[in-house]
Amino acid sequence: MPEQQQDILITIIVASVFFVLLGIFLLVLLFVFLRRQRKNEKEKEEMRNHFEKTLLKSQIEIQDQTIDYVAKEIHDNIGQILFLAKLNNNQITRENALEKANLIDGLIGRAFNDLRSISHNLKNNSFHQIGLTESIEQLLHNLERTGKFTTSFTGPPSDEIDGMIHGNDIILFRIIQEVVNNVLKHSGADRINIVITREDNTISIEITDNGVGFDPGSIRKDQQGIGMNNIYSRAKLINTSVNIISAAGEGTKVILTLKTQ
């Protein structure tokens, strides 16, 4: 057989083998793609689970804080008033009976009002009912009630913000609570301001105090407490950046920036 014909036959064989290899390559590509896609799905699922866990944890923590607040109110406020009423009751004599009765009546009235206020708070304090902005106002109001702090809050109307951060609001509120807890524990501040601003798809929350401040650069990552770690990990989960501006003696400003879709 002429050499030319032989070359053609070899070309035909090589081309056929090449096409079969092309098919095998296509199958390999399919499996690699499938594997990668499954891995991505698994990662997404894990992220979703992590988010749900954090959300649940945040809800439980908010509930715990509310229960703490109620317990404290009952013990420190209503308990004291009722104790005072009991003391006055024991001191009733024929001479001061009317005066004491009026006093006891006033004290019981105060205890009743406080109880009603707690009940009202409990009933309307559900995060889902009042949303982020009102929950922040409530948080600051409770701080003011201690008489140790002055607070201020500025922000756009509740419905404007809540719609934008729906789904992330509980976690965001927990971050704010954690920042405020840090202020109460470490700063020695007596003034806390919270400002929420909105610009296009970005929501910025500034929490400022007039405490002792600190050098943020001096705190290494491994030295951060559980509180700070919680703030960073939760912020990461809801795609929020945390920026701390502080200096010794100049108070602290924590800026949370959340990009919404």
Partner 1 sequence: MLTYIYLLVQASSFFVCLYLFRYLKNSELKYFLPYLFLTLLVEMIGFWQTSHGIRNYFMFNVFTTVEFVFYTFLFYRHLRKKIFKQLALAFIPFYLLAVAYNLAFVQGLNYFHTYTFLLGSFFIVVFCCLFFYESVLPEHLNTKLTMQPFFWVCTGLLLFYLGSVIINALFEYLRSFDMQQEGIRIYGIINQSLNVILYSSFIFAFILCRNNNKTYSLQL
Which residues are near partner 1 by CB under 8 A? 1, 5-6, 9, 12-13, 15-17, 19-20, 22-24, 26-27, 30-31, 33-34, 37-38, 41
> What kind and span of H or E run contains 20?
helix 3-72
**Between residues 23 and 157, which has the closer beta carbon with respect to partner 1?**
23
Residue 21 or 247 with smaller CB distance to partner 1:
21
Sign of dihedral through CA atoms 136, 137, 142, 147? Answer: positive
Q: How far apart are CA 71 and CA 66, in angstroms?
A: 9
Q: At closest approach, how far in Å is the CB of 8 from partner 1?
A: 8
Residue whose CB is less far from partner 1, 6 or 154: 6
Q: Work out how close the CB of 13 gets to partner 1 at its nearest, in angstroms, rounded to a whole number.
A: 6
DSSP classification of residue 219: S
* Count of other CB atoms within 10 angstroms of residue 108: 13
User: Shortest Cβ distance from residue 31 to partner 1 (Å)?
Assistant: 8
Nearer to partner 1, 31 or 218 (CB): 31
The Cα-based distances of 116 to 121, 140, 206, 261 in angstroms read: 8, 20, 33, 41
8 A C-beta contact, residue 132 and residue 161: yes
Question: Minimum Å distance from CB 41 to partner 1?
Answer: 6
